[in-house]
Structure 1
Amino acid sequence: MSQAQSVRTLRIGCEFNHVAQSATPASFLVRPAGQAAIVRELWTADPATPATFLHDLYGNEFRRVILPAGESLVSYYAVVEVPDELDAADPGAVLSPPESLPGETLLFTLPSRYCQSDMLSSAAWERFGDAERNFELVTRIQDWVWNHVEYRTGSTGSWWTAKDSFEAGYGVCRDFAHLMITLCRALNIPARYVSGYLPDMDVPALPTPMDFHAWVEAYVGDRWWTFDPRHNARRKGHVPIARGRDAADVALVTSYGAPWLRRLTVWADEDLSEPWPPADVSMVARDPFGD
């Protein structure tokens, strides 16, 4: 990160407390993507568990482990620097026609499991087909999704698709992202799903506990741009973890079994009043239930 650029320092992290009936293979996709300015970081597991690091076909890095039988805690902690500025925008950028798009973007114009752009094609063209094809069109799609979908904590699950959100009019952040991606793709605009951390920087803090976040990257002009339909605003502090066609490609945890997730805790803020990573990362020390 440029020395001339003003930056702010965040603590980010997560703890996954599982209970498994037997040894269970699993992978964790929670480390910030390669371009993140990581100051320090720590992966831990209690009980200690051997791990390997691999990359998926999108270049996302994940940690592969075997969760032991019984209770376990897998944690990731990091301090990162982010620009003290809003997500970049270019109102003058123009959308490319399909025949001019870079080959690597074409995958992100196609329907996928949660983003059925073929099913919502007519709806997309009815609402946006006459608009000028530029950056502002993508902003209009984001605005429409934000106005159409009511945010309801915990209202949907892994079965819920963009079509469901379109018809029901509610969802969580991943559903906002899926619906915006779907409408963009229906209009031949490459769009991909991003999972990551988002602190409440220079905005009122949400009343709900911190969680992972999901947003959209759309290809306009000659690059990918960040759009956040859950908030319908340019924000500070987006820290991407992974990118894919939709949430199916970037699951935070993939387990080859059925362990119970007893607790998930996520941090993304500027509170560095205590040591980070924590001084004691054992399961006993990190258990808020105290049992």
Structure 2
Amino acid sequence: MKLRIGFELDYDFPQPTPVILMLNVHFSRVSDLAEPDHIRIQPSVRVSAYRDSFGNWCTRLLAPQGLMRIAADAIISDSGLPESHDLNAGQIPVEQLPEESLVFLLASRFCDSDRLLDLAWQLFGHTRPGAARVQAICDFVNQRIAFNYNDASVTRTATDAYREGRGVCRDYAHLAIAFCRAMNIPARYCTCYLGDAGTPPPYPPGDFAASLEAYLEGGWQTFDPRNNVPRIGRVLIARGRDAADVAIATTFGPNTLKGFKVWTDEVVERTT
């Protein structure tokens, strides 16, 4: 299948403001793009690009005073199949983990696993180590947190999400990641495009989505505690320790986000 993916972000900057964007499709999916997903900026400004320490593609610019639109629109190929993971995959002992996975065992700003250590072992110590344990964590988080866009918070930690029992997809991911790390399972935060392919209407407004990847036997596997069912057409944008590492836009000055639109739509191909 083919998906049309893209976004339009409208900002109002009261003064010239440095901005870092993390909005390009992840390098692991670039070969699936019909053409490069170039970011378009109005008014046009000079941009530069670099890769961060996690390999994510970042765009850097100086926004002028006034209104600015940041947008992209691209076509990407996808298998069209529901995602899956191997629930028989076992857990790898810490001493046998590859060095590059160890950073994803550590507590981070939003995934404060050190504060959830005792609770995690109380809740999940009886579960089978490995993918089955990660799924048990996702099942718990899916039921623990009530989803509501109005409950979004840029400062809520995993511990806060557990205590408050509310939030958005990033809070589901943060809490599940923190529990995984507390159980000695490397877990990293992912931001993605995720549309509604294969799900019944009505459909909510488009948005970016958060999920997680856990390192198990066989490598990294994707889990989604927010939806907690196999989904079609997830397109990875960036990975990091938590949402602080993969913010779609980091602005170094005051601004107002006046418009926000994201789409991930299946392209219906006509046959003649």
Give the TM-score, by structure 2 length: 0.95
Q: Is the 8 A contact 2:23 2:248 kept in 1?
A: yes
- 1:32 and 2:32 are equivalent in the alignment: no
Deviations 1:145-168 (A, max 9, x none): 101111111203111111111011
Q: Which residue of 2 aligns with 1:278?
A: none
Once residues 91 and 197 of structure 2 are traced to their aligned partners in structure 1, the CA distance between those partners, rounded to angstroms, is: 30
Q: Which residue of 2 aligns with 1:160?
A: 156
2:33 partner amino acid: I
Once residues 245 and 55 of structure 2 are traced to their aligned partners in structure 1, the CA distance between those partners, rounded to angstroms, is: 11
Moved more, 122-131 or 242-251: 122-131
- 1:53 and 2:49 are equivalent in the alignment: yes
Q: Which residue of 2 aligns with 1:279?
A: none
Of 7, 16, 22, which aligns to 2:9?
16
Runs of 4+ in 1 over 4 A off after TM superposition: none
- 1:220 and 2:213 are equivalent in the alignment: no
1:82 partner amino acid: D
Q: CA deviation at 1:206?
A: 5.2
Deviations 1:7-27 (A, max 9, x none): x10011111111111111101
Residues 238-253 of structure 1 aligned to structure 2 (within 5 Å): 238-253=234-249
Once residues 207 and 82 of structure 1 are traced to their aligned partners in structure 2, the CA distance between those partners, rounded to angstroms, is: 20
Q: CA deviation at 1:201?
A: 1.0
Q: Is the 8 A contact 2:21 2:249 kept in 1?
A: yes
1:189 partner amino acid: I
Q: CA deviation at 1:271?
A: 4.4
Deviations 1:122-171 (A, max 9, x none): 11000111222121111111111101111111203111111111011111
Q: CA deviation at 1:236?
A: 1.2
Once residues 238 and 143 of structure 1 are traced to their aligned partners in structure 2, the CA distance between those partners, rounded to angstroms, is: 20
Unaligned 5+ segments in structure 1 are: 1-7, 274-291
2:238 partner amino acid: A
1:156 partner amino acid: A
Q: Which residue of 2 aligns with 1:68?
A: 64
Once residues 122 and 113 of structure 2 are traced to their aligned partners in structure 1, the CA distance between those partners, rounded to angstroms, is: 14
Deviations 1:152-194 (A, max 9, x none): 1120311111111101111100000000000000000000000
Q: Is the 8 A contact 1:200 1:206 kept in 2?
A: no
- 1:257 and 2:250 are equivalent in the alignment: no
* 1:118 aligned counterpart, secondary structure: helix
Distance 1:206 1:185, change over 3 A: farther
Aligned length: 266
* 1:78 aligned counterpart, secondary structure: strand
Once residues 270 and 125 of structure 1 are traced to their aligned partners in structure 2, the CA distance between those partners, rounded to angstroms, is: 42
* 1:270 aligned counterpart, secondary structure: strand
Q: Which residue of 2 aligns with 1:84?
A: 80
Q: Which residue of 2 aligns with 1:169?
A: 165
Greater helix content = 2
User: % of aligned pairs identical?
Assistant: 38
Deviations 1:27-79 (A, max 9, x none): 11111101211112332111111111111110000111111111111111111
Q: Which residue of 2 aligns with 1:191?
A: 187
2:18 partner amino acid: P
Q: Which residue of 2 aligns with 1:5?
A: none
Q: Is the 8 A contact 2:127 2:136 kept in 1?
A: no
1:129 partner amino acid: G
Q: Which residue of 1 aligns with 2:92?
A: 96
Q: CA deviation at 1:272?
A: 6.3
Once residues 46 and 162 of structure 2 are traced to their aligned partners in structure 1, the CA distance between those partners, rounded to angstroms, is: 43
Q: CA deviation at 1:207?
A: 3.8
- 1:234 and 2:230 are equivalent in the alignment: yes
Q: Is the 8 A contact 1:11 1:272 kept in 2?
A: no
Unaligned 5+ segments in structure 2 are: none
2:22 partner amino acid: L
1:123 partner amino acid: L
* 1:200 aligned counterpart, secondary structure: coil
Moved more, 150-159 or 95-104: 150-159
